[in-house]
C-alpha cells in the first residue's frame, strides 16, 4: 500500500491524516504535493497526524523536513501527531525529534498552535 492522505479542518488548523508508507516515489510525492497546495492557499497551521504511518524511509523523513521548512518559512507552524515507534525512533536517530513539536493528543496539539 502506498500513502493515503485525508485533510480536514479544525478551526484554523489543517489536519492531514497520513496512512501507509511514506517512501521514495508515490508516497513521498503525494505528501509533498498536498502540503505545497496547503501552503499556496495560505494555510499557516498544519498538523500531520502520522498515527497510521506504517513505514517511512529517509526520503519520507526528508519530506517531513521539507514540509517543516516550507511552512515555517512562510510564517506558519507545522506539528506532528501520534508518532509510531518506528517514526519516532527514526526522528531520534537523525536528531530531528527535537526539531518538531510532537504531540500524542489531537486536542492538545490543536490548542498548542498560536
Partner 1 sequence: MREDSRQTPETVERFLDSTLGSVDSAEELAVDAAQRAGFDEDDLMKIGMAVRESMVNAVAHGNRYNANKKVRFSVVSNTERFTVRIADEGDGFDFSRLPDPLSEENLMRASGRGIFLVRSFMDEFQIRRLEPAGTEVTLVKYMASK
Smaller CB distance to partner 1: residue 71 or 110? 71
Binding mask 54-93 vs partner 1 (x if CB under 8 A, - otherwise)? Answer: ---xxx-xxx-xx-xx----------------x---x--x
Distances (CA, A) of 38 to 60, 84, 94: 18, 24, 26
Cα Dmax for the chain = 35
Task: Write out the H or E segment, with its range, that includes residue 3.
Answer: strand 3-10
* Residues contributing to the site for partner 1 (CB under 8 A): 23-25, 57-59, 61-63, 65-66, 68-69, 86, 90, 93-96, 99
Amino acid at each position: 500500500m502506498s500513502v493515503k492522505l485525508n485533510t480536514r479542518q479544525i478551526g484554523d488548523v489543517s489536519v492531514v491524516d497520513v496512512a501507509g508508507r511514506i517512501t521514495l516515489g508515490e508516497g513521498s510525492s503525494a505528501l509533498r504535493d498536498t502540503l505545497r497546495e496547503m501552503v499556496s492557499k495560505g494555510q499557516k497551521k498544519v498538523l500531520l497526524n502520522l498515527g497510521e504511518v506504517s513505514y517511512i524511509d529517509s526520503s519520507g523523513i526528508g519530506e517531513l523536513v521539507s514540509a517543516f521548512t516550507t511552512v515555517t518559512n512562510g510564517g506558519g507552524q507545522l506539528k506532528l501527531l501520534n508518532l509510531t515507534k518506528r517514526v519516532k525512533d527514526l526522528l531520534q536517530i537523525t536528531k530531528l525529534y527535537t526539531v518538531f513539536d510532537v504531540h500524542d493528543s489531537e486536542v492538545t496539539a490543536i490548542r498548542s498552535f498560536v
